[in-house]
Each structure stands twice: as C-alpha cells, then as structure tokens.
Structure 1
Amino acid sequence: MSEQPIFQVKHLYKQFGPGCDFCRDEQSQTLQGNYCPKCKTVYACNDINIELYEGEILGVVGESGSGKSTLVQCLYFDQQATSGQYLLARHKEGKKNVFEETDQQKRMIRNTILGMVYQNPYLGLKMNFSSISNIAEKLIAANHQNVEQMTTIGKNLLNKVNIAEYRMKECPKNFSGGMQQRVQIAKALSNNPPILLLDEVTTGLDLSVQANVLDLIKQIQRESKVSMIVVSHDLSVIKMLADRTIVMLNGKIVESGLTDQIMEDPQHPYTQQLVYSLL
C-alpha cells in the first residue's frame, strides 16, 4: 500500500434543507439525530473526512439513515455535496477539488476513474439492453470506438463474473438479483477504474448468493488491486472485505480504524452494539 492516499475527502457536508440559525450555531446540541426540528433540515453527511489508499478496501458501516449511501452518492456525483473538498490522485495530481469541477469533467471522472455498483441494479444497468451492451455503453462513454475490441472486453469481463457466454446477449431484466449484481460489477470494471464504490451490493440477496458476490469482490480486488469503498449496514460483510472501517451514525463518523481492531475492541457504544450483535 502506498503512503500517499489516492483519494481524500475533507469536511464533506450534505444537507437536505436550508438550515437555520438554530441548527447551524450549535448543531450537536440542537439536532435530533441528524434532523433539525425547527427548519426540518436533514444533515445527511456532517463533516466527513476519509482517505483511501491504493489496493485498500475501506468499509463504511452504519444503520439505515446514517448517511453512508448519501456519502457514496456524493462521491459519484449522483448527489451534489453542500460543501467540502474531494481530491483524486489520478485527476490533476490530486490538487483540484473535484466537487468544484464542471459537469463535463465530473462525467469524465465517472467514466474513467470511478466505478459504481448500486444496491438496486436498476440504477446501474439498462435492463432492456443486453449485458454486453451495458458494458459497451460504459466504454463508449469513455471514448472507446472499436466495436470488436469492446466486444472482447465485454466478453472477458462477463466471463470473469461468471455470466455464461450464451447469456451475454440477454437482457439483465431476465436475470436473478445475484446475476444482475455481477453484471453491474462487470460494467463498473470495464474501464479499469482505480476506485470502485459499492453501495449495499448484497442487500436483499439470499445468503448463498450473498456469499458468491462477496467472494467475487474479494477475487477481483486480489487480481486487479482496485481500491474499494464498500458500504453496508451489515458488519459481517465489512468484516469479510474491509482492511479499514469507518462507522457512521446520524451523518457523522463516530469511530474509525483497522477493521480487526474495531471488531476486537470497539470504543463507541453504537459500534459496541453492532459488534456484539454479531456474536
């Protein structure tokens, strides 16, 4: 693992609502969780600071409504951050705040530096396109033009995620949830992104299917050394995958550290509750 992070987020805020003097002045005292009872503003991400290193898997764990999915949506530009700094080593030497880039630059970053796998495959795939066409769409967005080359890349990736060749021209709407997630993973990897974002990718899948998807993620990480941010409400998923973990509650990071350390000696009462629920 290199000493310089390939990805840094500093003081990220994402709020839904205007905010008011009541919640802005003394947030920690006046918010109910991450919600202002006066102006109804929700502080989904409240001063988030994270770093990601080359070849590392960073786990983000927290209950529903903790802000973890909003965090990755801001990182992939599905949501617009309210404020903060976002630096990527592969973009302008990590010196430009990506949140301040143009929409065109953000699209370029989405198509070349980042890959995203959503909890709901319908957000990441065109269900009426064939699986191989879904991959081609991502490649075309990154200026690939050679059809034969794109077909080869698509076949290799779908083979890698265990989609049989005779089903590669089939639409994902005909697939099971686990197969749809595997096609999403193949699509996200199509441009060899250095960073992969995974948001609750095993939620709603049967346990045996969950295990297959998690094994696939680990295998891909071992082979390609892609850095990952893995979001889950399930600590057992994070335990299996992540090198380091941050724990979110009410839009804030309440604990962070090596995953083994957090599992063996959780400090925050909420983390303790999560860990003990695994025992």
Structure 2
Amino acid sequence: MKIFEKPILEVKNLRKQFGEGCEYCREISEEKLEKNYCPKCGTVYACQDVSFEVYEGEILGVVGESGSGKSTMMQSLYFDDQVTSGELYITNYKEGTKNIFEESSQQKTFIRNNLFGKVYQNPMLGLKMDFSCIGNIAEKLISSGNRNVGFMTQRAKELLDHVNIPIFRMKEAPRNFSGGMQQRVQIAKALSNNPPILLLDEVTTGLDLSVQANVLDLIKKLQRELNISMVIVSHDLGVIRMLADRTIVMLNGKVVESGLTDQILEDPKHPYTQQLVQSLL
C-alpha cells in the first residue's frame, strides 16, 4: 500500500449553490431540503461544505450518482465555475498558504494553465476539434507561457507517442478520431505543461468497454511513470476500484463517506455506499 506524506491539494468547505436561497433554506439542513433542492425557492445546493485532501502521487476517486455534485466540484476546482464559498490550497502555489478561490481571475488563469490539467467527459470541451492534435497541445503550452515552436513540436510528438496516437496523425484534427482517441489527445494536452495535478471528469463514459479499458490502463501507466496527483470523478465504482488509492463518496452535494478505496469497497459504512458496492458485485 502506498504511504502518502503531505497533501498537494486541500479543499475546505467548498459550497456551490445555484439560486439566492431564502429564509427557509439559508441555514442548510437535511430536513429542509429535498435531496439538494429547496422546495420553497428552488435553490440548488450542488456542493455543501465539501472537504478533502489529495496527496502527492495519489489518485483520489470521487464517486456518486448523477446530481451528487461531483462534476460541479470539478468545475469549481478548475475555475470553470465560481464557488459560492470555500477554500482551496495548493502546495505549489505560495507554499499552500493562500486561499486560491479568493485570488484574482488573472492568478486563477495562471494556476489553471500551470498547475492543473483537466480531461473532460465531453472531448469537445477540452479540445478544439478543428485544430490539429499538435495545435491543441501547442495552445496549452502557449497559455502557460511557452513560445518556442521547436520545443512545442517536440513536446507534442513525445506526448502523442506517450498516449499511443500515431505520430503521422499529429497534424490531423481530433474531429476525425474515435471517442477513445479524442480522450487520449485530451490527456496529452492536459499533461503538456507537466502539471502536478490532473483532474479527470467521467473520462470513460460513453466509450466501448474495450476502449474504456485502454484509457484506464493509460491513466494508470501515466500516473505510475509521472508520479502525478489525480482526482478522478466517476459514477462507476469499477473505474474507481481500478484506479483510486483513496475515495470519497458524494450524495446530494455532500461527502457521505471517505477512506482507502479497498476499505470502502470491503466495508462500506453509509447506506448509499453499501448500495453502490452491492450493485458492483
């Protein structure tokens, strides 16, 4: 079993709501909400005080049904969406002393381009489908400050080779590729600036089983070779079992269980986790 020493990323009390809230629901409690929704004013509490750490070289799994808040949480971490409140610390940024959610949009852009890579469920969100593969990777490198064309070309070749995309196809647009190949190009793009943290949101959903297996094998191989920290979101406990060292379980915007993946699978405590594990057997 891996031993992890210190968190590279720490999230405290992340809250994201859609709607203003009302007197009835402003003090959130289970009795007042229907799942994560206020029946009086319609406000959705997509993330309710979500807290967790990710350690160096660790894969953290996030599992939960649709609407549990896991994708909203990932959007918040990558600044695709603004949080309502909460704290985010990364050791590689100002020695982990600054709440990144309170930083300026310019600083958030810097962090997004230099410290994070993200792979979206829908490749159209992570790739420019009309750009070539090499153009997509260059775009990420340019965003993080690189201007050396020779370096960018070489880096793109290395990465595409790493994710098993034939080099002779590097000038092709991803729109010509299968779903599995598009995900591999997305992974190459996300890794281009050597980020310490990779965020993967439902990356195998919609792929054929054999293609899913290839993508999961690739993720595992990259993590082993690069010792990169990852947060992997999935509704599929089979994916989490294969990849994650530790897992958090989300339901109705809250973390209801967390622990070592093996522990959660063998001895789930929360009724929802028990139900999930039962469905896997």
Q: TM-score range by the shorter chain?
A: over 0.9
Which residue of the partner structure matches residue 213 of structure 1? Answer: 215
Deviation at 1:3, TM superposition (A): 2.2
Deviation at 1:4, TM superposition (A): 2.0
Letter in 2 for 1:202: T
Q: 1:223 aligns with which of 222, 225, 229?
A: 225
SS of residue paired to 2:193: coil
SS of residue paired to 1:231: strand
Q: Please, what TM-score do these two structures have when normalized by structure 2?
A: 0.98
Letter in 1 for 2:7: P
Matched, 1:109 2:111: yes
Whole-angstrom distance in 2 between the partners of 1:223 and 1:205: 25
Q: Please, what TM-score do these two structures have when normalized by structure 1?
A: 0.99
Whole-angstrom distance in 2 between the partners of 1:273 and 1:21: 34
Deviation at 1:201, TM superposition (A): 0.1
Deviation at 1:248, TM superposition (A): 0.2
Which residue of the partner structure matches residue 260 of structure 1? Answer: 262
- Superposition CA RMSD, Å: 0.7
Which residue of the partner structure matches residue 58 of structure 1? Answer: 60
Whole-angstrom distance in 1 between the partners of 2:137 and 2:236: 29
Whole-angstrom distance in 1 between the partners of 2:27 and 2:164: 53
Matched, 1:47 2:49: yes
Which residue of the partner structure matches residue 194 of structure 1? Answer: 196
Q: 2:178 aligns with which of 165, 176, 179?
A: 176
SS of residue paired to 1:85: strand
Q: 2:36 aligns with which of 30, 34, 37?
A: 34
SS of residue paired to 1:30: coil
Whole-angstrom distance in 1 between the partners of 2:30 and 2:209: 39
Deviation at 1:27, TM superposition (A): 2.1
Deviation at 1:251, TM superposition (A): 0.2
Letter in 2 for 1:253: V
Which residue of the partner structure matches residue 80 of structure 1? Answer: 82
Which residue of the partner structure matches residue 135 of structure 1? Answer: 137
Whole-angstrom distance in 2 between the partners of 1:90 and 1:20: 39
Which residue of the partner structure matches residue 244 of structure 1? Answer: 246
Greater Cα offset, 207-216 or 15-24? 15-24
How many pairs align? 279
Letter in 2 for 1:30: K
Whole-angstrom distance in 2 between the partners of 1:257 and 1:139: 35
Whole-angstrom distance in 1 between the partners of 2:144 and 2:198: 16
Letter in 2 for 1:3: E
Whole-angstrom distance in 2 between the partners of 1:188 and 1:26: 36
Segments of 5+ residues of structure 2 without an aligned counterpart are: none
Whole-angstrom distance in 1 between the partners of 2:29 and 2:16: 14
Deviation at 1:2, TM superposition (A): 4.5
| Identity %, equivalent residues | 71
Q: Following superposition of structure 1 onto structure 2, how do residues 18-29 of structure 1 map, counting pairs within 5 Å? A: 18-29=20-31
Whole-angstrom distance in 1 between the partners of 2:279 and 2:144: 44
